Chain A
């Protein structure tokens, strides 16, 4: 409440229609951050805002490469593969002036691993964290973890003293309904400080004059006004009218208009996210089909036919307006394990597909329900709708059930859908992440997003072995084996890799990061 008072009585925060001062950036996207507590929610917009204020040990730059942040050096200890050692940056201060050291890191990691934390899954293999002197830090895992670094990009470091002083040692318990000091106030080491915030409405950030990175990063933007704008047309209108300078999610159909505007431009880059269909191939019978006692999806030929029927080029050209890359594998190209061969679009045309269907005994087709989100991925509902037409051409009558994500995704976890759309981003940039969630047999620890009912004990064993394989070459070989099995069994029908489009005023200069994260310290103005 205090902060709100601060905000609203403060001077003009958002200037209208053009006339933005050289250093201020008005930023809009569809959703708002849910909380300022950096460990309470593992969610895109929440981290996007937090990452301007807080910093991890290791971060990604705008190209997705891991670079030093609060740690300057890192890696597994040569003598003990179960331990990762970090050298921390010296001379860093928090926004309130407190000094940053290993105590804060230990505190923050313990906090991120506490019960209420939403980040603890990323650190599930961690046994212990410990300080080694003032600027040394070590993580002990339950086994060798070669890709530990990739899990640390969103583990933000808080000040131990500040947290203790303000009763913010415990992570805000969103689920238990808790409101803490850290949920509204921040004290990070990052390039920007929080000036004011009204959730779902307006958040104001100012450049941190004491930032350690001054000189290393452009840091040209000194003030950021962040507003979530839910309705796509309104969001584009705000950009077109000059009320905002930068929006992250431009609807694909409006790219032309934005690009054509003399004051605006569109910057694009492939995103670290692949969109695909999942099929229930494990059950003996489907609940939503019209075939009695049989599961048509269990027949590989049906899956192959469906894979052929998807006209990825048409989806790319018409639905996505070229803002997608047709995919042959359920893995974004950035991920360790990706090869061009895996990602090649399946051969075959409609006639081949029809022949396969006839072969499988479904020459007359069948009907089934496709579940689809309508507020999650770019043009998700339109893609499904297009797919309905494509499957109709090989005789499969698809009933489309498109719903908001809150209703769609539980069906995958609860196994109440036979045929669904899912998108997958890989923050670790490693195939193991995909296998763990999507390919492993659904169980307590792994396979939570595997809605295909596919279960292959042999593959499961390979997936589990990846976690502790320290020989990277050997590990990569196993990854390759798993992928060829996945492609052979056609677990998923890949559609495309999303392409990110950022719309911005001409004065703003930035590349697009594959994880859709705007890192304003890299932004330049002209």
Chain B
């Protein structure tokens, strides 16, 4: 399906290419092979851990991906953290104080965040915090520190400053989603018999809300949130483009424009792997949180 995105030849040969060059390169890359054969070759190589060489950078795709992964994973992690932290906090607050003016304000304002496209929010944040106020950087990761093959921006001041705006941009939508989910699940749990029974036992509101209600709320929240984490990584495409965040999303967009087929294919494989991993983690978390599943598993 990559053939529809464009022709890589054009980018690989310069302005001074002749038609003979085009034919030679096309042949060399195997682009004239039947589509299925191309796909088969890709799969055969991928199984051996060989994802090919980037047309654009002339480096092994695996190396390029590994170089870019930390940036995206850190960004996704921080925005997921942001989304979950604030989503759960605000969700719990709005569920407990279901009628207050502040609750209505939070609910309405959070909707503003999902009523504008992500890229616009990112650009507006840059305009406000980088250009007008000059508080935070407008692009990039800041300084990074190397730990093994992993580069992290979370250990330097400039790295931390740099992640704030992209993380908010990326996490805003998920935060709203989680908040609403927590709110509705928690309202339901708060009406359940065991919460009423806990009240009847004289437990404090604090214990009821945070020990009994929240934990039960989290069971369904974990599934949806977990599955949504996949979309954090995907939406990183937009955020990384806006903030010039050197992650795999930006790599993907560059690759689409350059028609760097090996990188695009590898990115899609990466997303699939993420899917499997996320599903696995969600299942594990589920078992940790919900004892009913633990028993079934043991049997």
Contact = CB atoms under 8 A, between A and B. Distances in A.
Q: Do chains A and B stick together as partners?
A: yes
A25 B54 CA distance: 30
Contacts of B9: 410
A168 interface: no
B62 to A, nearest CB: 11
Contacts of A14: 140, 142-143, 158
Contacts of A34: 56-58
Interface string B208-251: 00000000000000000000000000000000011110100011
B188 to A, nearest CB: 42
A237 B126 contact: yes
A406 B6 contact: yes
A199 to B, nearest CB: 6
B93 interface: no
B6 A404 contact: yes
Contacts of B87: none
Nearest to A403: B6
Contacts of A43: 14
B63 A1 contact: yes
B279 to A, nearest CB: 30
A234 B14 contact: no
Contacts of A13: 143
Interface stretch (A80-88, A239-247, A383-391): A239-247
Given A34-B58, A229-B244, A237 B10 contact: no
B257 interface: yes
Contacts of B108: none
B130 A237 contact: yes
B243 A407 contact: no
B7 A183 contact: no
A291 to B, nearest CB: 29
B139 A229 contact: yes
Contacts of B35: none
Contact of A176 (B22, B28, B142, B251): B28
B257 A406 contact: yes
Interface residues of B, number: 69
Residues of A in contact with B, size category: 35 or more
Contacts of B113: none
B194 to A, nearest CB: 51
Interface stretch (A441-449, A485-493, A517-525): A441-449
Contacts of B56: 34
A237 B59 contact: no
A227 interface: yes
A445 B22 CA distance: 11
Interface in B3-18: 5-18
A201 interface: yes
Contacts, number: 185
A200 B67 CA distance: 11
A227 B138 CA distance: 13
B73 to A, nearest CB: 15
Interface in B133-182: 134, 137-146, 149, 151, 156, 158, 161
A437 B56 CA distance: 24
Given A42-B14, A234-B244, A413-B10, A241 B250 contact: no
Nearest to A18: B134
Contact of A407 (B6, B127, B146, B254): B6
A230 interface: yes
A140 to B, nearest CB: 21
A200 B59 contact: no
Nearest to A423: B15
A4 B64 CA distance: 12
Nearest to B246: A201
A21 to B, nearest CB: 15
Interface string A16-34: 1110000000000000001
A40 interface: yes
A48 B176 CA distance: 45
Nearest to B149: A1
Contact of B134 (A175, A241, A406): A241
Interface string A417-448: 00000000100000000000100001111101
Listed residue (A18, A229, A237, A437) with the most chain B CB atoms within 10 angstroms of its CB? A237
B17 A121 contact: yes
Interface string A211-250: 0000000000000000111110111011011110000000
B132 to A, nearest CB: 9
Contacts of A449: 15
B1 interface: no
B134 A200 contact: no
Contact of A40 (B58, B67, B143, B258): B58
A122 B18 CA distance: 11
Given A14-B143, A234-B138, A242-B134, A409 B10 contact: yes
A499 B282 CA distance: 55
A231 B142 contact: no
B268 to A, nearest CB: 18
Given A12-B158, A14-B143, A234 B242 contact: yes
Listed residue (A175, A178, A235, A442) with the most chain B CB atoms within 10 angstroms of its CB? A175
A35 B53 CA distance: 13
A410 B7 contact: yes
Contacts of B298: none
Contacts of A234: 123, 126, 138-139, 242-244
B259 interface: yes
A8 B18 contact: no
B257 A375 contact: yes
A298 interface: no
A122 B22 CA distance: 16
B281 interface: no
Contacts of A437: 15-16
Given A175-B28, A242-B134, A410-B7, A121 B21 contact: yes
Contact of B53 (A179, A198, A243): A179
A43 B53 CA distance: 19
A1 B156 CA distance: 21
A102 interface: no
Contacts of B7: 406-407, 410
Contacts of A446: 18
Contacts of A17: 134, 137
B11 A406 contact: yes
Given A241-B138, A406-B7, A118 B257 contact: no
B244 A237 contact: no
A394 to B, nearest CB: 32
A228 B244 contact: yes
The 10 A-B residue pairs with the shortest CB-CB distance, nearest first, are A177-B53, A42-B14, A406-B6, A201-B246, A174-B58, A407-B6, A410-B7, A8-B146, A121-B16, A237-B138
11 contacts: A5-B146, A14-B140, A14-B158, A174-B12, A175-B29, A199-B57, A199-B64, A202-B246, A230-B253, A234-B126, A425-B15
